[in-house]
Amino acid sequence: MLAFDARHGSTKAALFDNSGQMLGFSHTSTPVCDVTPAESLMLHIEDLTTQFARDFPKVTPTAAGLIAPGIVDDHAGIAILSASLRWANVPYKRLTEDRLRLPSTFSNTARAIGEAEFRLGAARPYKNVVVVRFGTRITASLFIDGKAHDGGGFAGGIGHSIVDAQGEKCLCGSHGCLDTVASGGAIVRRYANLTGDAVTGAEDVLERARNGDTAAEGVWNDALEALALAISQVAAVIAPEAIVIAGGVARAGDELFVPLRRRLDDLLSFHRRPTVLPAILGPDSTLLGAALRARSVV
């Protein structure tokens, strides 16, 4: 199985055997091309595939899974929109099949993480579960009655659910989206705006909050309140048994999960109360998810 995780800046690729063992891995720069970005990405994954064939001459891949950020229609295999990679309506599933001459799948980053956690990770015991990726942006993947639900590509956009209609303008054009308060990018920006101090990541803001910095505490608490509110709305609408939280900010551990569970508990009444727990598969879960998707079409 070949798996490719293409992002703005870098592309990870892996070769898996049929048992799910990762045999080969590469981390390269994503080619930058404003004129034909899809063609340059296809050339890149063809080169990466050739390299794996050289390194592992006895392994013959039977399928390929490509993932990328943005709005992706998994069933049609089309990238509807990716602002960071500058493409719209690109039929990547077909392009990958044509280029590599292998059955292929195409999905987005959040759904690949969700697939890996649902099949092999923290979401495995549940049939109704939401896997939230809490990183620079906040995205999610939904599993309803044991099946992935992608809503024609638009499901899981929890980062653009409104938590404060009078709030800050979001990149999407709306106001007060969850991403403007709780994403890793927002935590860094809001702290810098309040204090004038540049920080490198949300973890730095949390570290400052831990050391009694009141501005950092305020920014972190606002993020938790907004995240709990958005999750309570998901709980009210689809009644998941569990919410699994993945991504860099989720590594905060109890400092995230203990207050988040308490706030969520305060917001819910008669609803089914989801168990809120951390993802367990780590940063390469994207590649694992891409490979699992690929395996499903062999």
Q: Is 228 in the site for Zn ion (CB under 5 A)?
A: no
Q: Is 174 in the site for Zn ion (CB under 5 A)?
A: yes
Q: Which of 23, 83, 172, 298 binds Zn ion (CB under 5 A)?
A: 172
Rounded Cα–Cα distance for residues 177 and 183 (Å): 10
Pattern 132-161, Zn ion, x by CB under 5 A: ----------------------------x-
Minimum gap (Å) between residue 171 Cβ and Zn ion: 6
Minimum gap (Å) between residue 233 Cβ and Zn ion: 15
3-state helix, strand, coil in the chain (%, to 5): 40, 25, 35
User: Among residues 40 and 174, whose Cβ is nearest to Zn ion?
Assistant: 174
Query: Number of residues in contact with Zn ion, rule: CB under 5 A?
Result: 5
User: Among residues 160 and 293, whose Cβ is nearest to Zn ion?
Assistant: 160
Rounded Cα–Cα distance for residues 164 and 185 (Å): 17
User: Among residues 70 and 289, whose Cβ is nearest to Zn ion?
Assistant: 70
CB-based contact 143:129 (threshold 8 Å): yes
Minimum gap (Å) between residue 183 Cβ and Zn ion: 10
Minimum gap (Å) between residue 172 Cβ and Zn ion: 3
Q: Which of 95, 177, 252, 288 binds Zn ion (CB under 5 A)?
A: 177
Which value, to the nearest 10 degrees, does the dihedral of the CA atoms of residues 117, 121, 122, 127 take?
A: 60
Minimum gap (Å) between residue 141 Cβ and Zn ion: 18
Residue labelled with tokens 């898996």: 16
How many degrees, rounded to 5, is the angle at CA 113 between CA 110 and CA 117? 135
Rounded Cα–Cα distance for residues 65 and 257 (Å): 32
Nearest to 30 by CA among 67, 63, 58, 64: 67
Q: Is 170 in the site for Zn ion (CB under 5 A)?
A: yes
User: Among residues 227 and 288, whose Cβ is nearest to Zn ion?
Assistant: 227
Q: Is 251 exposed, middle or buried (0-12, 13-18, 19+ CB in 10 A)?
A: middle
User: Among residues 137 and 293, whose Cβ is nearest to Zn ion?
Assistant: 137
Q: Contact residues for Zn ion (CB under 5 A)? A: 160, 170, 172, 174, 177
